[in-house]
Copies of this chain bind each other. A is one copy, B any other.
Amino acid sequence: MSSRILLVEDDKNLGDQIVTHLKNDGFEVTWIQDGHAALDVDPKQHDLVVLDLMLPGAHGLDILKIYRETAETPVLVLSARNETSTKVRALALGADDYVTKPFWPEELLARIQARLRRPLLHAGDVIETGALRIDLGARVVENAGQRVDLTRIEFDLLAALAQRIGAAITRQALVDRVLDPDREGTGRTLDVHFSRVRKKLGTEGARIATVWGVGYRLLPPGA
């Protein structure tokens, strides 16, 4: 039983490449080459959507919004670099992941497989772990019932860790996802944000562990 991928991509070359690679990896692929036609397709019929935001006709973001309202199918977004605002809006609209162009095919594959393998964590889901309660939809964090005020970046960083409790998340991945995708993983900005998150979370903040030379991880409660 292979997974069914819905690809919305207007660029013929790129689309061809992606389809070839996905089929090569055993996926069933439906390729929509036109933004308007995308609205005639039911995302519920697929296991995952790959959506290029740079569409000429209907705006990719509109399609994303409509898909999100009609189905829970995870959406993986493609976007060009230097489009940070678009990326932020896409994630806010409930995109589950994004890949920045240009990318290597295997990178896209890895993201797709990771997404399909993982239990779905949609915007709207709530993560409860230890004394923490993280509402991804409302973007609200509570610590032992007490509301904690986090800024956008602080919240996204915590959420990134909380969505894979115990897993080490690389600095680069965090920078890509939360800060500018076209920025090198160097610099101390991440550290400053995590420093604040830790302080704001008090005891629970100690669960944010540094993984030396790699990134950060959220330790499971009581460990």
A152 at the B interface (CB under 8 A): yes
| Most B C-beta atoms less than 10 A away, residue of A13, A139, A213, A217 | A139
**Digit string of A135-159 for contact with B (CB within 8 Å is 1, else 0)?**
1011110000001000110000000
Pairwise interchain contact A152-B213, C-beta atoms closer than 8 A: yes
A19: nearest chain-B partner, CB-CB: B92
- Among A87-119, those with CB < 8 Å from B are 88, 91-94, 96-97, 104-106, 109-110, 113-114, 117-118
Pairwise interchain contact A105-B91, C-beta atoms closer than 8 A: yes
* Complex Cα spacing A152 to B16, Å: 39
A223 at the B interface (CB under 8 A): yes
Chain B residues, Cβ within 8 Å of A96: 106
Pairwise interchain contact A212-B152, C-beta atoms closer than 8 A: yes
Interface residue tally on A, bucketed by range: 35 or more
With A118-B106, A122-B110, A152-B213 in contact, do A138 and B168 touch (Cβ < 8 Å)?
A: yes
Pairwise interchain contact B94-A24, C-beta atoms closer than 8 A: yes
Chain B residues, Cβ within 8 Å of A185: none
Chain B residues, Cβ within 8 Å of A13: 88
Pairwise interchain contact A122-B118, C-beta atoms closer than 8 A: no
Q: Is chain A's binding surface mostly helix, strand, loop or mixed?
A: mixed
A214: nearest chain-B partner, CB-CB: B152
* Complex Cα spacing A138 to B121, Å: 17
A85: nearest chain-B partner, CB-CB: B13
Chain B residues, Cβ within 8 Å of A213: 151-152
Pairwise interchain contact B139-A168, C-beta atoms closer than 8 A: yes
Chain B residues, Cβ within 8 Å of A168: 138-140
Query: B-contacting residues of A (Cβ < 8 Å)?
Result: 13, 16-17, 20-21, 24, 68, 88, 91-94, 96-97, 104-106, 109-110, 113-114, 117-118, 121-122, 125, 135, 137-140, 147, 151-152, 164, 166-168, 211-214, 217, 223
Listed from nearest, the 5 A-B pairs whose CB atoms lie closest are A138-B167, A139-B168, A152-B213, A17-B92, A20-B92
